[in-house]
Amino acid sequence: MKRVLWLCTFDNVEKMRHLKCWSMRSSGERGQWIPNLLSAFRDDSEWEVHVASSSNFMVSPYQSWEDKGIRYHCYKSGIPIVGRNWPARFPVDQATRFWLNRRRIARIVKRVKPDLIHLFGVE
Task: Report the percent of the chain where pLDDT is more than 90.
Answer: 30
∠ at Cα 64 (63, 65), nearest 5°? 140
Non-local CB neighbours of 61 within 8 Å, separated by 6+ positions = 75, 76, 80, 104
Is the pTM higher than 0.85? no
pLDDT confidence of residue 98: 75
Number of structural domains, the chain? Answer: 1
Q: Check: CB of residue 50 under 8 Å from CB of residue 4.
A: yes
Q: What is the pLDDT of residues 55-78, one digit of tens each?
A: 877 778 889 999 989 999 999 887
Which domain range does residue 65 map to? 2-119
Q: Taking Cα atoms as reference points, which of 91, 87, 33, 23 lies closest to residue 55? A: 23
